[in-house]
Structure 1
């Protein structure tokens, strides 16, 4: 079979609770900067360059962000520079908070992408050759290119021996686009899963069987087990039959069900650090890290890691706001890695303190933590320590890359006449290893999936064809998912009895991967539409979803 097709994914506004903002306060010989940024080093360098001053005159402090999803990795720099310039020239405090309309107009979004592909498959749906090209829309400048990321992640869990993948960056007239949660992999997984659906329909094979037939052996050994477990847990075959009967008996309401597998590759690059200091008189612990809390539960997990390593109550741990004096020249918080990297650094500083305390403990009989700390202080033991972690992304690093596997099954219902769709049920299983905090992880899974669900179903950026300005620049006309749009029945499972030997205490970070599996929703919608088209005696095997 020879298959040809096209696929397109659009942009997406990050829609964080907090828009871009910054507060600057002039000091005796410097400026204190409080930006809504997840990259302190970039803010320091950008402001110093803008004001033509030494870098050590810029003091950056970040306590937490009201959400980011990638929008505050680099894009806060222009806001912080403007605020710092006013502070510097007027020698008085300045505050700059963008309105939502200005934020949406000027800040880049997720990169739209267009793909064309040609595939040759045998009668079993196994790919014999695949040729695909994709174009990533950078906006006005290609300073954060995505085509290469998509190329890397497009393979997902499949055998790619006979694949030819080419990616290109395209300059357009919109604001320069930027990273958005699970950048590149969201688009890459959607591209290959769309092709798998196309293969299944043309070859007249079960979509799950087609996916399993095209998986590489290493990933199949893991995912086949998860898939079979999910099929049994969700009564998938029974529900398929029930949906077929429902569609046979209903002309204007249709249901669809679909499954998507995922292999998300987590890798590390950059520098990260943690500082730990112990208060001598009560034993309380201060932890300062280069990572920034961006609504991922980073500070909570770091406190847990420190308490567990030190063997003390978590109430004694205080995670302080990040600043560039304690964490100079460090990498950004993002790309699903900060809990791993700063968590590892936290274990190291705790271990250093414990080694220093060991001789003191041997002199005491069953001492309390507070007693050991005060005795160490009296004997001149340094209760301050720091650990810096430098990573290159190779298997030789202290922290090694690892895959995150997941499988999602979704059932939807559509109204053929109105276009309304209802997500009846979603079952999502993801491998979190030995989860550091299951409640946080489940919350991250739910939030990521719903964000992706909105991306594929309701969120659409509309630009004026003459001026290039964004038309739907506020919550009245840009439509993220609401409370009534989330799945009626949403079941999240953290895969049991798995330990990531390369992770922090056996854990895996899963803040971004679930968003990628949200592409199961348009696949399920396609399944429902197929039934409606058959009722209309439409004989076309394949149709394009979305705008082309």
Structure 2
């Protein structure tokens, strides 16, 4: 019996298990470190800086080279091509520190040895002479030092902000600090490079962006892209951390492989991985908001300072997207939002699920919270009063009209299904009678734009082969990191041909199959690659239909695709039979599909355009309990209603919503990045960095998809993206914790909790409320 028989009849819009699910459970899913190493494989390990900012006066590798098993040391002198590995292509990120280190943990060389253990031990034997330089590691100190920026800032503006603020009866002024986050993927950064003849090199890379790794490796080796092949079967998680950060590891492996003509693998320890690779950007948002007696927002002026790190990486587009989401689901009559992508002596921060959008939304919810507490209203009332309209009051700060607004219905349905109003009253009653334990509840919305704001990334390719036995070979440019992209695109192909899902063979992503691909990011993997695969299928189907009409002497109009094959008049031709016939009659059964997202355009210089193809919506209700004596708390219940359009695979999509929420909850509550006074990241291991555990999942966790939603745009299956938007649903946890804290002062003062809202911050917030109540 076919091992995949349990999913063989599944096509689009049907709950279908992840294609690698059984392999994950049984441990047979192959990752790069599971691959059989070629004979003679070398191992590389990075030598990292132990200063946050310093000039390198000299490096002594004599003890390194004398260590057992050491083959050699790679430095910048060993790079035959371009030294730069910058994703931003601004040439500001050398492979290794080039005479000056800019953060503690910056790679400065790599040791190549016979075994990984030998390379790792030898890397610590190097003697590096430093001349220390001044450093700063956070947003406020960077601003105080003059606010040097790693990339060009952005300003979005619409309406007369000064007039709006001046005329507003009330003002909310303040700042909110929003912490960063480590990706903490299960599979760390890793690359295996195998040299070929001439200039050729094949790299197995754990990357979300194979085409960029291909380009960067080619530039470093001083060769053309066609000599470099990047293969990605699967990643053990990415979350944005493997969009650009894999470049370094792939280049080191490839350089060593070509220099010594032997395969080379590099896999850092978790501590070094966390120290040397970028994270979610920390933000400090300063704001001034005008509003009226009803809580209607009249004007917003906000500055978004971000910890960028020492180089540009993706800080520019991340801070841009934070501004794109400074409105969340709210219409501002007048708005000005400005980014400050700041240089700091820390690793350059990078893409992370939500890509700046979460930080923008958190700030929006902060001033909504300020308004609610100042007016003595339920924050949900303020949210509803400021929602985007459907025909008017629907222009964003970047001048795109919100034409698909369903946030009113989503919130209304969740408010009813979660019994929000009755539960809020129960929370208020509980807090009146409980001296130590306090509860909070909050309902928050999400509106998230879908598309890359770098317009050229909104394209995808796919390669589909039909073999003479009717089996199908599928390749596309998307990468699988556990999110279920492969199974969704396979469902698209099975649906297109009307065959069982087990007919479709999902191939590893390879730059040798589909060129010039975009990163699997921006929640666009299914949108782009699904449509490209569909295009390829339609090409093949058209040829097969023409062939069948000719073979059976029928009109093409009388031929129609059905489940299992093609109906030609009254005759049904099974798909496998048709494939064999087409082959015998020299019909091409292979096609390259392509798709580019329509309608989108963006002019960054003017801050105007239509950068998003559509919006995904959602809402969540969180209920919490805090201990006012210790600051400890529990998340007791969560209810979610999320919009994925017409779901391609409800089982996968619900899993994405659940996982996104928990990851967002971790970012906002437990995952804290701490740099010490010497500039070293101290939270660089599971012992000091706390991701959510299974025990942190709310005991009542209700997740529903908005099954009535259908994307008004002609996306694949009329679905919507699901990867990133659910993470922002977790903002309701912070708002609920804020309510619990504010109850100590009878809700008269806005809690203003900075993030992550750790138990310590809860306790400090409680003490603030107690002092305010006494005074």
TM superposition score category, shorter chain reference: over 0.9
Q: Which residue does 2:4 correspond to in 1?
A: none
| Distance verdict in 2 for CA 1:543–1:350, change over 3 Å | closer
1: distance between equivalents of 2:209 and 2:382?
Answer: 42
Instruction: Report the equivalent of 1:215.
Output: 387
Query: Which residue of structure 1 lines up, in the alignment, with residue 241 of structure 2?
Result: 71
Any gaps of 5 or more consecutive residues in structure 2?
A: 1-169, 391-401, 553-570, 603-610, 762-775
Q: Which residue of 2 aligns with 1:255?
A: 439
Provide the secondary structure at the position in 2 that maps to 1:25.
strand
Q: 1:476 corresponds to which residue?
A: 687
1:318 paired with 2:505, answer: yes
Q: How far did residue 389 of structure 1 move?
A: 2.5
Instruction: Describe the superposition over 1:215-252 as per-residue Cα deviations: whole angstroms up to 9, x where unpaired.
Output: 22126962222222111111111111211221112111
**2:72 corresponding residue in structure 1:** none
- Which protein shows a greater Rg? 2
Q: Is the CA contact (8 Å cut-off) linking 1:266 and 1:336 kept in structure 2?
A: yes
TM-score w.r.t. length of structure 2: 0.68
Is the CA contact 1:124–1:205 (under 8 Å) kept in the aligned structure 2? no
Equivalence map 1:85-234=2 (5 Å): 85-144=255-314, 145=316, 146-218=318-390, 222-234=406-418
What secondary structure is seen at the aligned counterpart in 1 of 2:262? coil
| Counterparts of 2:288 and 2:485, CA distance in 1 | 43
Change in 2 beyond 3 A, CA 1:353/1:531: same
The 8 Å contact of residues 271 and 684 in structure 2, kept in 1 or not, is answered as yes
Q: Are the aligned partners of 1:267 and 1:393 in contact in 2 as well (CA < 8 Å)?
A: no
Distance 2:494 2:251 in 1: 38
Q: What is the alpha-carbon distance in structure 1 between the residues aligned to residue 345 and residue 601 of structure 2? A: 40
Equivalent residue, structure 2, for 1:265: 449
2:179 maps to 10
* Partner SS for 1:237: helix
Counterpart CA distance in 1 for 2:205 and 2:299 is 49
How far off its partner does 1:314 sit?
A: 0.7
Aligned-partner SS, 2:591: strand
The one of 737, 745, 754 equivalent to 1:545 is 754
> Is this contact kept in 2: 1:2–1:121, CA < 8 A?
yes
Partner in structure 1 of residue 639 of structure 2: 427
Q: Which has the larger displacement, 343-352 or 50-59?
A: 50-59
Shift of 1:500: 1.0
* Mapped partners of 2:222, 2:710: distance in 1: 50
**Shift in Å at residue 343 of structure 1?**
0.3
Alignment of 1:22-101 (within 5 A): 22-29=191-198, 30-101=200-271
- Within 1, Cα distance between the matches of 2:410 and 2:712? 19
- Matched with 2:526 is 339
Tell me the C-alpha RMSD between the 2 structures. 1.9
* Pair 1:381–1:540, CA change in 2 (3 A): closer
Report whether the alignment pairs 1:387 with 2:598: no
CA contact (8 A) 2:298 2:332 kept: no
Bigger Cα displacement from structure 2, 267-276 vs 311-320: 267-276
Pair 68,543 (structure 1): closer, same or farther in 2 beyond 3 Å: closer
1:492-547 Cα offsets, whole Å, 9 max, x none, are 1100222113221111111110101211111100101111234xxx9645544358
Distance 2:289 2:547 in 1: 68
Inter-partner Cα distance in structure 2 for 1:224 and 1:328:
42
Q: Which is worse superposed, 123-132 or 17-26?
A: 123-132
CA contact (8 A) 2:738 2:751 kept: no
3-state SS in 2 of match to 1:217:
coil
Preserved CA contact (<8 Å) 2:289 2:301: yes
Aligned match of 1:277: 465
List aligned pairs for 1:404-415, cutoff 5 A.
Answer: 404-415=616-627
2:475 aligned counterpart, secondary structure: strand
Match of 1:19 in 2: 188
Cα distance, 1:69 vs. partner?
A: 0.5
Describe the superposition over 1:130-188 as per-residue Cα deviations: whole angstroms up to 9, x where unpaired: 21111111011123123222111111221122122111111000011101100111001
Of 52-61 and 319-328, the range deviating more from structure 2: 52-61
What is the Cα deviation at residue 433 of structure 1?
A: 1.1
* Aligned pair partner of 1:244 in 408, 423, 428: 428
The change in CA–CA distance for 1:505 and 1:391 in structure 2 (over 3 A counts) is: closer
Partners of 1:38 and 1:546 in 2: CA distance: 28
Structure 1: distance between partners of 2:518 and 2:501: 27
Residues 272 and 389 in structure 1, CA contact (< 8 A), matched pair in contact too: yes
Residue by residue over 1:395-428, the C-alpha shift from the partner in whole angstroms, topping out at 9 and shown as x without a partner, is: 79xx981111111111011111121111111011
Give the match for residue 697 of structure 2: 486
Which residue, out of 464, 467, 473, partners 1:286?
473
Note if contact 2:447-2:617 (Cα within 8 Å) is conserved in structure 1: yes
The TM-score with structure 1 as length reference comes to 0.95
**1:72 Cα deviation from its structure 2 partner:** 0.7
Separation in structure 1 between the aligned mates of residue 693 and residue 268 of structure 2, nearest angstrom: 23
The separation in 2 between residues aligned to 1:508 and 1:496, in whole angstroms, is: 12
State how far apart, in whole Å, the 1-side matches of 2:751 and 2:206 are: 45
1:376 counterpart = 2:582: yes
Please, which runs of 5 or more residues in structure 1 have no aligned partner? Answer: none
Q: Is the 8 A contact 2:491 2:501 kept in 1?
A: yes
In the alignment, the residues of structure 1 paired with residue 599 and residue 214 of structure 2 have an alpha-carbon distance, to the nearest angstrom, of 25
Q: 2:681 & 2:716 partners in 1: Cα distance?
A: 43
Cα 1:193–1:400, aligned 2, differ >3 Å: closer, same or farther? Answer: closer
Rounded to whole Å, the distance in 1 between the matches of 2:363 and 2:749 is 21
SS of the residue aligned with 1:366? strand
What's the CA shift string for 1:295-325, capped at 9, x where partnerless?
1100100110000011111110011011112
Structure 1 window deviating more from structure 2 (303-312 vs 238-247): it is 238-247
Aligned length, in residue pairs: 542
Q: Deviations over 1:173-218 (max 9, x none)?
A: 0011101100111001111011101111112222112111112212
Q: Secondary structure at the match of 1:484?
A: helix
CA distance in 2, matches of 1:105, 1:331: 27
Is contact 1:26–1:88 with CA below 8 Å preserved after alignment?
yes
| SS of the residue 1:176 aligns to | coil
Cα displacement (A) at 1:263: 0.8
- Aligned to 2:670, which of 452, 458, 464? 458
Q: Distance in 1 between matches of 2:347 and 2:623?
A: 37
